[in-house]
């Protein structure tokens, strides 16, 4: 991940430059490899770079040949080499960066540029000749992005990867909506990502699931995200989603190793092309390092259920596994920093982010700069335990659409900011655009949970090879069919209990009766939530709260968002006992 800060139409951009550079410095953790800035007309772009692709030549902001177009990007464009090949006019690329292709795309397609991109991204482009700024965010909001305005500079518009470098200069801030593009010509944000499942959520799909297609599209989504020129790994909680990602990534690692070895022996192919025969074009064009062994990472309290499952998966797959532990006190000590980096006070997000935050620091210390992660599956397939209570398939589908639409305020925010805090990039294959298009158009009847179908049944069944003679299993059966554990539960039940107990010491009954007036109607309903909100207020002014969404389960009377609070979890584990 990288960090960007930009301001367009500032009344005195040269005078503002030292402030802009200081704001960029606030997010240097996202891009510790290099810093850059560019001023043109009354616009300034500031970029903090984490180099993953085009390591030796991709410093930003990127410029076209005559310097009239400048671009600052946070993210990865997985189809960049295919896009380069299919430009209608020749373009003299200056770097190997996956992001540079946005400039010639803009020159050909203008505001429609983001429609052509396959990846996770947020970017700001300035066209000097038109004095025009275009800003865009990826379809689901995997990368964090904010937009702000200031009453002191009413004609200016500001953009940034995180709140912390906007709130000192803006008194009006919004989370830039995913799948949208801003154009300074109209000063409007418009939607460019318009799949039917998203824009017409009450239109219930009727297409039956094809398990082979589901498997193929997800494998392709994982392969696509192996594009890198640096060491990478996988986050492996031991749950279904991360285990599937790890399994496919390991298969590709072994495939590339075999191709590399064959090339060395036969010297008849370049870059393993023989082994890659039959793989889609954009994947073959991407740069993928040949790892000696795939690293996998897990974290939990000593004896945590997820850690035990992760170790089993790692042994089964043959990854080089790092099972890290933390103590409740270490987690508690990190909370203020976690909230500062997350920029939220949502209970579920903070509970799950703290272990991920601690793990990310250790991963970066090992020299890993990119990891694959399993976010998004629960939203797409109704994997949360409260989906057991869905009244019908229509309600089930509409809830999955709502959850996917809000990922940028929940799990995407967690994955992005917990890792970016330490200069680590997280990629999420379940949120691949093509995979989403297929998965969200499956008849929700296929996703419903009943006595014969566990949550996320169809994605489990898609990777069940028990009826495919000669096909190697992707995962052990007990992992493939393991019940959902939310990450904050799976790292050890003592973690959430410790948070609740500590909140009791920090927040009194009297505090609960007298919430702060600045909170308005957004009143914490538990002492834990109250405690987090107070820590958030220590870091951020009140107007930042409008960018926060609280995660709560539907079809449940529980105020605690933990999966353990849902009856289906208790019934499962009582039965197992």
The DSSP element (H or E) to which 211 belongs, if any, is helix 211-224
pTM of the model: 0.93
What pLDDT, on a 0 to 100 scale, did the predictor assign at position 283? Answer: 47
> Could you tell me the two tokens for 358?
């601690």
131 or 305, greater pLDDT: 131
Closest by CA position to 352, among listed 487, 536, 490? 487
Which pLDDT value is given to residue 277?
A: 44
Annotated binding residue 413 = no
Q: Using one digit for the tens of pLDDT, what is the confidence trace for 475-501?
A: 999 999 988 665 556 687 899 999 999
170 tagged catalytic: no
Any known ligand binding at 98? yes
Residue 374, annotated ligand binder?
A: yes
Sheet holding 3-8, edge to edge: 34-40, 43-49, 3-8, 153-160, 146-150, 172-175
Q: What is the pLDDT of residue 51?
A: 83
Q: What is the CA radius of gyration of the chain?
A: 23
pLDDT per residue as tens digits for the range 114-159 = 999 999 999 999 999 999 999 999 999 999 999 999 999 999 999 9
The whole-angstrom separation of Cα 248 and Cα 264 is 24
**What rounded mean pLDDT belongs to the chain?**
92
Nearest to 275, CA basis, from 250, 244, 252, 300? 252
Once rounded to an integer, what is the mean pLDDT over residues 171-179? 98
Catalytic residue among 2, 7, 165, 412: 2
- The predicted structure's pLDDT at residue 181: 98
Extended strands (E) in 57-211: 62-63, 69-77, 119-127, 132-137, 146-150, 153-160, 172-175, 180-183, 188-191
pLDDT at position 258: 86
Tokens read off for 397: 């589908």
Q: Residue 68 above 90 pLDDT?
A: yes
Q: Is the pLDDT of residue 349 over 70?
A: yes
262 band by pLDDT with thresholds 50, 70 and 90? confident
More confident residue, 567 or 30: 30
Tell me if 235 is assigned to a ligand binding site. Answer: yes
Is cis: bond before 173, omega within 30 of 0?
Answer: no
Instruction: Supply the pLDDT for residue 267.
Output: 67
pLDDT of residue 486: 55
All CATH 3.40.50.620 domain ranges of the chain, comma separated, are 212-576
Q: Is the pLDDT of residue 577 over 50?
A: no
CA distance linking residue 17 with residue 357, whole number of Å? 32
Which of 54-68, 93-107, 228-242 is least confident? 54-68
Evaluate if residue 58 carries a pLDDT over 70. Answer: no
Tell whether 299 is in a known binding site. Answer: yes
pLDDT value at residue 263: 78
The per-residue pLDDT for range 196-218, each reduced to its tens digit, is 999 999 999 999 999 999 999 99
Residue 281 scores a pLDDT above 80: no
- For residue 31 the two structure tokens come to 């891009």
Residues of the chain with CATH 3.60.20.10: 3-194
Percent of the chain residues topping a pLDDT of 90: 83
Determine the average pLDDT of the residues in 244-249: 98
State yes or no: pLDDT of 389 exceeds 60. Answer: yes
For the domain 3-194, what is the CATH superfamily, name and number? Answer: Aminohydrolase, N-terminal nucleophile (Ntn) domain (3.60.20.10)
Find tokens 């031991």 and name the residue: 238
Backbone angles phi, psi at 157, to 5 degrees: -130, 140
pLDDT at 488: 52
pLDDT higher than 80, residue 575: no
Tokens encoding 367: 């020299």
pLDDT of residue 273: 45
Kind of pairing between the strands at 3-8 and 180-183:
unpaired
33 or 263: which leads in pLDDT: 33
Specify the CATH architecture of the domain 212-576.
3-Layer(aba) Sandwich (3.40)
Rounded mean pLDDT, 69-89: 96
pLDDT of residue 490: 65
**pLDDT reported for residue 174:** 98
**Which of 48-62, 385-399, 547-561 bottoms out in mean pLDDT, i.e. has the lowest?**
48-62
**Long-range Cβ contacts of 451-454 (<8 Å, 24+ apart):** 454/481, 454/483
Q: Where are the alpha helices (DSSP H) in 391-518?
A: 393-405, 411-420, 433-439, 457-462, 477-480, 487-490, 493-506, 509-513
pLDDT interval class at 54 (50, 70, 90): low
Q: What percentage of residues in the chain have a pLDDT greater than 70? A: 91
Q: Pick from 396, 395, 435: which is nearest to 118 by CA?
A: 435
Residue holding tokens 């998203």?
Answer: 198
Beta carbons of 476 and 504 less than 8 angstroms apart: no
């Amino acid at each position: 991940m990288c960090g960007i800060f930009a301001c367009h139409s500032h009344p005195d951009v040269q005078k503002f430059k030292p402030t802009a550079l200081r704001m960029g410095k606030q997010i240097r953790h996202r891009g510790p490899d290099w810093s850059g800035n560019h001023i043109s007309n009354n616009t300034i772009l500031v970029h903090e770079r984490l180099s993953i692709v085009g390591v030796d030549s991709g410093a930003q902001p990127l410029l076209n040949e005559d310097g009239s177009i400048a671009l600052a990007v946070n993210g990865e464009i997985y189809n960049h080499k295919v896009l380069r090949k299919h430009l209608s006019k020749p373009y003299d690329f200056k770097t190997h960066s996956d992001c540079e292709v946005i400039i010639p795309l803009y020159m050909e397609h203008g505001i429609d540029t983001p429609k052509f991109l396959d990846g996770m991204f947020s970017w700001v482009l300035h066209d000097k000749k038109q004095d025009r700024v275009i800003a865009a965010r990826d379809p689901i909001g995997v990368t964090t992005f904010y937009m702000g305005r200031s009453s002191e500079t009413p004609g200016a518009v500001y953009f940034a990867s995180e709140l912390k470098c906007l709130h000192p200069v803006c008194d009006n801030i919004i989370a830039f909506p995913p799948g949208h593009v801003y154009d300074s010509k109209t000063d409007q944000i418009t939607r460019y990502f318009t799949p039917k499942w998203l824009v017409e959520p009450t239109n219930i799909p009727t297409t039956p699931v094809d398990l082979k297609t589901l498997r193929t599209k997800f494998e392709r989504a994982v392969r696509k995200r192996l594009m890198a020129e640096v060491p990478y790994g996988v986050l492996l909680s031991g749950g279904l989603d991360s285990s599937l990602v790890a399994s496919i990534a390991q298969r590709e690692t072994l495939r590339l190793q075999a191709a590399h070895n064959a090339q060395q022996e036969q010297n008849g192919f370049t870059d393993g092309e023989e082994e890659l025969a039959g793989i889609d074009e954009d994947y073959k064009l991407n740069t993928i390092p040949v790892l000696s062994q795939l690293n996998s990472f897990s974290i939990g309290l000593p004896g945590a259920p997820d850690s035990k499952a992760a170790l089993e998966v790692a042994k089964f797959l043959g990854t080089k596994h790092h099972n890290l532990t933390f103590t409740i006190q270490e987690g508690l000590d990190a909370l203020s920093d976690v909230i500062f980096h997350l920029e939220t006070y949502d209970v579920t997000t903070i509970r799950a982010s703290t272990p991920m935050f601690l793990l990310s620091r250790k991963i970066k210390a090992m020299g890993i700069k990119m990891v694959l992660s399993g976010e998004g599956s629960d939203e797409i397939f109704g994997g949360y335990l409260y989906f057991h209570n869905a009244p019908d398939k229509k309600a089930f589908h509409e809830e999955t659409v709502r959850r996917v639409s809000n990922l940028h305020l929940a799990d995407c925010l967690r994955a992005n900011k917990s890792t970016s805090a330490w200069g680590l990039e997280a990629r999420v294959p379940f949120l691949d655009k093509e995979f989403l298009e297929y998965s969200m158009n499956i008849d929700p009847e296929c996703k419903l949970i009943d006595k014969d179908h566990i949550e996320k049944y169809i994605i489990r069944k898609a990777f069940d090879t028990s009826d495919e003679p000669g096909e190697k299993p992707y995962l052990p059966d007990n992992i493939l069919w393991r019940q959902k554990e939310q990450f904050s539960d799976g790292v050890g039940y003592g973690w959430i209990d410790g948070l609740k107990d500590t909140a009791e010491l920090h927040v009194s009954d009297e505090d609960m009766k007298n919430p702060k007036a600045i909170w308005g109607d957004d009143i914490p309903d538990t002492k834990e939530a109250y405690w987090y909100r107070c820590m958030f207020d220590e870091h951020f002014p009140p107007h930042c709260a409008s960018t926060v969404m609280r995660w709560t389960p539907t079809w449940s009377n529980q105020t605690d968002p933990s999966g353990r609070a849902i009856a289906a979890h208790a019934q499962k584990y009582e039965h197992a006992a």
